[in-house]
Amino acid sequence: MTDALKLDGDTLIFADDQPPPVAPVAPVALAQWKILIVDDEEEVHRLTRWVLADFRFGDRGIEFLSAYSRVEAEGILRRETDIAIVLLDVVMEEDDAGLRLAHFIREDLDNAFVRIVLRTGQPGQAPEHEVIADYDINDYKAKTELTTQKLFTTVTTALRGYRDIMTIEASRKGLEHILDASSSLFEKRSMTQFIEGVVLQIQSLLHNHTGAVLCSLRANRVHPDDYEIVAASGLYSDKVGQVVGEVLPDAIIADISEAYRRRTNVFRDDRCAFFFQTRNYEASVVYVHGTEALHDVDRKLMEVFCSKIAIGFDNVYLFDQLAEAQKAIVYALARLAEHKDQETGDHVRRVETLSDNITSELLARRCFPELSESELVKHIGLASILHDVGKVGIPDAILQKPGRLDPDERAVIERHAGIGQSILDDAGHMVQGMNYLNVAAEIAGSHHEKFDGSGYPRGLSGDAIPLSGRIVAVADVFDALVSSRPYKKPWSRADAIAYIRGESGRHFDPLVVEAFLAVAEPKV
């Protein structure tokens, strides 16, 4: 998980990757504004502190830091990254010490946030206009001007500027974070994973949150007992799958109900409920419980984030629907071929599982470097289901012949590889983005090739046979051997394994056989 975005007053801090505290903690006092006085005259420090002693801005007082030379100031500025204002003398250990320090702040520290107010003893030392612009020096005062009223005005203006800059910066970082979070959400393709991701991201967006729940309502009902908790974190993490009305405290039920009823976000001091509307659920609410009041910036972030979540929900839902539709079509096609072949649905499922397992084993063994970057890992199982789909083009009389095939019949049956490949190639070209169809075409066309070049339809050998075909060949033959066919009785598992082992380097790729043996042999 990423660092939590922590808004401490107006200062953005990247908190460590720690779980949020579960027990509520007392709200922390707002930090004070830090003002650094840089001057080689003690009197200036004393006077400034005295004049500003009771100064407050935005409910926060002032913490003074003092430096008596450029070098000392540089040390303090390196250490204290949240200084709001530097009241800066021009001439100290060098005639241009103040300007050198301004340069150091903006260029070396790359700190564009701290406000710099130059104070000089003599008007003749006024820096050039370019210098003021280049170093973003925010004010320029003669020390004689520092009467009580003038200093108040100067510091107020500078703090207002600093506060606004920090607020914008916090929003900017927050938006960046939301964009990051949203894109990782969109990668999650299953609804369960997606919902868990949402709750995790909320945890990283809001500091000090003690718990979050995401609840959804499927039908057009508004009773609390109808909201199901689909994901949860922190205090509520054990409540997934239960209904809001039964497991959450009354105050929370009331917030969530109100959000649903009014179809709006509900904010309380230490908690809030975000409403969002999606296609697949009637409505959803993310409820977040914090340890202290949410800052305005946090609220805005959550609002933006929740609008993104709604889009993400819809995307994931449509993707899930599409994937389900694809699977249904694949199974239907495979059943069609099986029907002619008098096989049961179990054959293709077993070939699917075995192909997946062999592929995972090959991946783990790093046998084929290309496998780790290939789409094959994702698609081979589903694609393997269609390896014999070309049998739809073979006459039943041949397929269901109880005895051995004569050479002419054999030639006809061998055409199932090419037929399958061309059906699936055509389908793959018609439908964009269904990569598994391309893999399926490759498998259909190559699952009867043999490693030694004696297979069909092309007589390819070794690496010239697509890896997908080399994998499915092993899975297909193994399952054909242990199954009953019109032309043969089932073999025992041990005999079939021995046969595959014996064909290593002849019918099958030796590396694929090794992976097969690792997943197929009973563990000792």
Residues with catalytic roles? 391
Alpha-carbon distance of 500 to 514, in angstroms, equals: 10
The two tokens of residue 200 are 């995790």
Instruction: Kindly give, in sequence order, each residue whose CB lies less than 8 Å from that of residue 311, ignoring residues fewer than 6 positions away.
Output: none
Alpha-carbon distance of 288 to 202, in angstroms, equals: 8
Contact pattern from residue 438 through residue 467 relative to ligand C2E, giving x for each residue in contact according to CB under 6 A and a dash for the rest: ----------x-------------------
The two tokens of residue 365 are 């063994």
CB of 468 to ligand C2E, least distance (A): 16
CB of 477 to ligand C2E, least distance (A): 4
Whether residue 88 contacts residue 101, with contact meaning beta carbons closer than 8 Å, is answered with yes
Contact pattern from residue 32 through residue 71 relative to ligand C2E, giving x for each residue in contact according to CB under 6 A and a dash for the rest: ----------------------------------------
477 binds, among ligand C2E, Fe ion, ligand SIN, none (CB under 5 to 8 A by kind): ligand C2E
Minimal CA–CA distance to 210: which of 348, 23, 51?
Answer: 23
Among 145, 251, 484, 487, binds ligand C2E (CB under 6 A): 487
CB of 228 to ligand C2E, least distance (A): 45
The two tokens of residue 344 are 């049961």
Q: For residue 457, say if its preceding peptide bond is cis, omega within 30 degrees of 0.
A: yes
Among 100, 150, 268, 485, binds ligand C2E (CB under 6 A): 485
Spell out the alpha helix ranges (H) of 367-507. 376-384, 396-399, 407-430, 435-446, 467-482, 493-502
Whether residue 198 contacts residue 185, with contact meaning beta carbons closer than 8 Å, is answered with yes
444 binds, among ligand SIN, ligand C2E, Fe ion, none (CB under 5 to 8 A by kind): none
> Using CB atoms within 10 A of its CB, is residue 37 exposed (0-12), middle (13-18) or buried (19+)?
buried
Q: Which residue, 19 or 459, is less far from ligand C2E as judged by CB?
A: 459
Check binding of 442 to Fe ion (CB under 5 A): no
Check binding of 7 to ligand C2E (CB under 6 A): no
413 binds, among ligand C2E, ligand SIN, Fe ion, none (CB under 5 to 8 A by kind): ligand C2E
Q: Which residue, 49 or 350, is less far from ligand C2E as judged by CB?
A: 350
Check binding of 205 to ligand C2E (CB under 6 A): no
428 binds, among ligand C2E, ligand SIN, Fe ion, none (CB under 5 to 8 A by kind): none
Contacts with ligand SIN by CB under 6 A lie at 2-5, 14, 39-41, 89-92, 120-121, 125, 143, 173, 176-177, 204, 421, 442, 445-446, 449, 457-458, 460, 466
Check binding of 401 to ligand C2E (CB under 6 A): yes
Check binding of 388 to Fe ion (CB under 5 A): yes
Whether residue 421 contacts residue 463, with contact meaning beta carbons closer than 8 Å, is answered with no
Whether residue 383 contacts residue 334, with contact meaning beta carbons closer than 8 Å, is answered with no
Among 476, 481, 504, 520, binds Fe ion (CB under 5 A): 476
Whether residue 133 contacts residue 70, with contact meaning beta carbons closer than 8 Å, is answered with no
CB of 297 to ligand SIN, least distance (A): 12
Alpha-carbon distance of 55 to 62, in angstroms, equals: 7
Whether residue 113 contacts residue 166, with contact meaning beta carbons closer than 8 Å, is answered with yes
Q: Which residue, 407 or 433, is less far from ligand C2E as judged by CB?
A: 407
Alpha-carbon distance of 18 to 204, in angstroms, equals: 10
Q: Which residues bind Fe ion (CB under 5 A)?
A: 388, 476
